[in-house]
A and B are shown apart, each in its own frame.
Chain A
Amino acid sequence: MTVPRTSGAGRESLAEGTASGIAPQDDTVALLAVGLPESGKTTFLAALWHVITLGTLPSSLTVDRVSGDRTYLNAIAHRWSDGHALERTITAGGATVQMHLRYRSVDRAFSLTFPDLPGEVFRDAWAHRTWPKDVAEMAATATGILLFIHPDVHEPQRLDVLNRTSIAGGAAELPADATTSSGVPSETESAPWLPGDAPHAVILVDLIQAVLRAQTASDDNAKGESPLRVAVVISAWDLVDAEARYAPQADVANHGARMAGPVPESPSQWVAHRLPFLEQFLRSNPETIQYHVFGVSAQGGALDETHRLLAAPTPEERIRVVGAPGAPNDLTAVVRWSAGGA
């Protein structure tokens, strides 16, 4: 079955890329969507599928054809377009679908696979230090990853920051049990460490490292020696936008000193501000990682604002993409960059 080309309206609105600038050399693009549970992977895929197959707005990619069972993708796109919450992904969906796409600006086509894996796979990889064999194979052969991050990131609070006393002058009055500045004697019991207590930034770094190691160890590394392209997708970007508009001075009590001051404007600034550990890692490995940060609101707003979400003539008009060249609702720009285009 041939899927009709996405009709375009108006001129090409994206920055022109050069044919030589579109990597990889072969025409197979395998993207791995990585992210913890409820980080927005499925919503993005649902919206992308809709845009690619039925979208009417200008986009940087068009679809030549689609092969494989589209049941899962059609189902999630259906729910997304009606503004419904997407159910938690329990099993991998869409793994067999191959989208044959074409760049609008240059005559170059590629085949894209984009399986929708449950976030639990990645959460458990961190916690239990194993992942399914098929996921390992996807990691080993991925030409790029989409790293999904929900703005509500987990940052465990440090006791020493919370307990630090202020002094007016002279010697501080230290806690009676502060025999050392390390705190209470070690015989006081702590709750056992749970891997899920780790900061999200740490888990995400660990996952990227796992992908890189899988690729290094694999003989089937499709991208060869090229750096792994990492598209950092801040999902539900509308929440960040709202925070910037209505709460310019950060809530220090909840987020600590790091959040004091104006909320960053761009997705890159947001990552540098809220996930500095991840940001350091991404920029400190230029030989192995090329990255770009996108802010994406695939849903367009909170799901309890259905009347507003459904007010747009077409569901793709709800989409917002920040940090990508071209139209502000062109979700394919994220895929285009991940595939090696500008």
Chain B
Amino acid sequence: METTVPHCQLPGCPIASGGRCLDGFEHPEADCPNYAVGPEHTIIGNAAAVASAIATTAQGHATAGTHDVDTVALHPGAPLNSEEAQQITRGSLSRVIVVAGMAESGKTSLVTCIYHKLLEHSVADYAFAGSLTLPAFEERCHHARLTSGREAPSMPRTTDVDAARFLHLQLAPETRSSDAFGGAERASSDPTGTVAVAGSAGDYRQMAARNLLITDIAGEAFRLARDSEDDARRLTILRRADRLAVLVDGAKLAKRTERQGARRDVLTLLQSLTSAGMIDGRTVVDIVVTKWDLIDTAEQREEVIAVVDEIECSASTQLCSAVAKVRLHRVAALPVRADIELGFGVDALLRMWLEESYLLAPSCGSVTAVLPLGAREYLRFGERHWARFASAAPHPA
């Protein structure tokens, strides 16, 4: 059996040699995001190397399981675990989005809607640039396709309550592919065989492809978190999230007998997460009202909209000093009516996920700022790569 040792992704951390955690965690095996056990591996420097490292890990898993020396494992394509996600966030511009909500509130529909739209065209001026979890997306989309044998689309229930898993998308700004790099096909006909790289370091942020890591957590986990701060504290991924998207089930809001319950679900969940310290002044909270097409056609449409407005107001009041920002979004991932576009509201939500970042806000710390313990991954990435952003104008928040 292979010997595993503790080690750390941060260069110079003495934990591998029996010393203390460089970040000061008393219990790094539980709290430090850089802590891992296993064979020592190198610091990941770029997304390609990230994928390579993940592929190597997959290879190890595959050969260990099958004992087939004549085959090589590919990346499994399953949702990423926390370690795999961290390898991405450390090496490239990334956004970690926690999609929260009760069962059947539309979490999976929302995420697969983004994927479905990308299958057809770029979304919110971002083009698809890669994904480590294509099979996972495809499996989730299956139930909304003719090949499922169904007559109407549905989404599979997410069952994993305990472990945080991530679906991955890499998206590139449209301006990057056409202007900054002169278009790949123009480059391909360039007799020098080189690819023009335009722009200064200040343009890097605008042109850089972004990795989107979206959680795939069962609604049951959020029901438990709503009812118990202890269970809320188990959602440790929230400490590393750029954004928390809390879904409000529009179908329930559209029914008078379920409206107030849906309202309570979102407000009590936010209350529990705040009390448990899982969201703080660096969290951007999106309140996402799903299935907006059903609200738009509800008999008490005006009543429902008033409740939605009240949810936004209550959440903003409740969280005003606790989180960075609260935003309300209205989406309809799979609207039944033909006059409502597929993925209504999803483009605007995706753009905010990709472009709004605490890291890029004017108030973000200086180059010499000392990172607090338990600092989120985007801050660590920013510190390591600050030189690239130093000349960039602050991105409007």
CB distance from B183 to the nearest CB of A (A): 7
Given A180-B251, A289-B184, A188 contacting B154 (CB threshold 8 A): yes
Selecting from B46-54, B234-242, B358-366, B371-379, the interface stretch reads: B46-54
How many A-B pairs with Cβ below 8 Å? 269
Q: Give the most central of B77, B148, B250, B251: most A CB within 10 Å.
A: B148
Q: Give the most central of A157, A174, A202, A268: most B CB within 10 Å.
A: A202
The answer to whether A198 and B177 have CB atoms under 8 Å apart is no
CB neighbours (8 Å) of B121 from chain A are 276, 280
The answer to whether B188 and A284 have CB atoms under 8 Å apart is no
CB neighbours (8 Å) of B334 from chain A are 160, 181-183
The digit string for A287-312, where 1 denotes a CB below 8 A from any CB of B, is 11111110000000000000000000
CB neighbours (8 Å) of B299 from chain A are 171
Interface of A is mostly: mixed
Band of interface residues on B:
35 or more
CB neighbours (8 Å) of A268 from chain B are 185
CB distance from B313 to the nearest CB of A (A): 26
CB neighbours (8 Å) of A166 from chain B are 338-339
* Complex partner residue of B72 from A136, A163, A289, CB under 8 angstroms: A136
Q: Which residues of B, 56-77, contact A by the 8 Å Cβ criterion?
A: 56, 58, 62, 66, 68-77
CB neighbours (8 Å) of A276 from chain B are 119-121
The answer to whether B191 and A17 have CB atoms under 8 Å apart is yes
The digit string for A174-218, where 1 denotes a CB below 8 A from any CB of B, is 110111111111101011011101110110011001101110110
CB neighbours (8 Å) of A188 from chain B are 150, 154
Band of interface residues on A:
35 or more
A131 vs B62: C-alpha distance in the bound complex, in angstroms?
11
Given A172-B297, A184-B150, A129 contacting B185 (CB threshold 8 A): no
Selecting from B35-43, B125-133, B281-289, B380-388, the interface stretch reads: B125-133
The answer to whether B193 and A21 have CB atoms under 8 Å apart is yes
CB neighbours (8 Å) of A254 from chain B are none
A290 vs B182: C-alpha distance in the bound complex, in angstroms?
12
* Complex partner residue of B148 from A159, A175, A282, A291, CB under 8 angstroms: A159
Any A CB within 8 A of the CB of B294 = yes
The answer to whether A159 and B144 have CB atoms under 8 Å apart is yes
Q: Give the most central of B109, B155, B156, B334: most A CB within 10 Å.
A: B334
Given A217-B55, A285-B130, A171 contacting B297 (CB threshold 8 A): yes
* Complex partner residue of A197 from B147, B153, B189, B197, CB under 8 angstroms: B147
The answer to whether A290 and B187 have CB atoms under 8 Å apart is yes
The answer to whether B130 and A133 have CB atoms under 8 Å apart is no
A160 vs B335: C-alpha distance in the bound complex, in angstroms?
8
List the 7 shortest-distance A-B pairs measured between CB atoms, nearest first. Answer: A21-B191, A284-B129, A183-B152, A136-B72, A284-B172, A23-B193, A193-B142
B contacts, CB < 8 Å to A: 48-49, 51-52, 55-56, 58, 62, 66, 68-77, 104, 106, 109, 116, 118-122, 127-132, 134-135, 138-139, 142-157, 171-172, 176-178, 181-185, 187-193, 195, 197, 209, 249-251, 291, 293-294, 297, 299, 332-339, 342
